[in-house]
Amino acid sequence: MQNNALIIVAHGSRKTSSNEEVMGLGEKVKSLLDEDYTFVMTAFLEFATPSLEESVLSCIDRGASEIVILPYFLASGNHVTRDIPEVIQKTQSSHPQVKIILKEHLGSSSDMVRLLSSMAVSPNKKL
């Protein structure tokens, strides 16, 4: 298996439980993609750690030769179009031996329409 990594990057929140949700999601993804990625990590852009830069550098320090960045964002706002690419460009220029791949943000997936449609017609969740 290639020594590669997946980083799921989210906005981050002042609410700890929200950040824990993202980290829990990362653990679930890790269990599904165990054979595809050596490392699966989460990162945050604001309010929580590790930052995207910290996670990328951690993967590099652990020997990753390829890092896939998956933005956990519904829309292509400034974080998706500016902030994440800036971190990648900065890190890539100082570590040219590592291939860093930026995937499309979550909201751009064609599966999102099916997911929303499915959720809209499923039974209501009781509060």
Helices (H), 42-83: 52-61, 78
* Contacts of 53 by beta carbon, 8 Å cutoff, 6+ apart: 87, 90, 91
DSSP letter for 100, please: E
Question: Catalytic: 79?
Answer: no
| Element at 8 (helix H, strand E) | strand 4-10
Distance CA 7, CA 56 (A): 8
Identify the active-site residue in 11, 79, 95, 105: 11
How distant, in Å, are the alpha carbons of 11, 12, 39, 43 from that of 6?
16, 18, 6, 10
Amino acid found at 122: S
- Active-site amino acid positions: 11
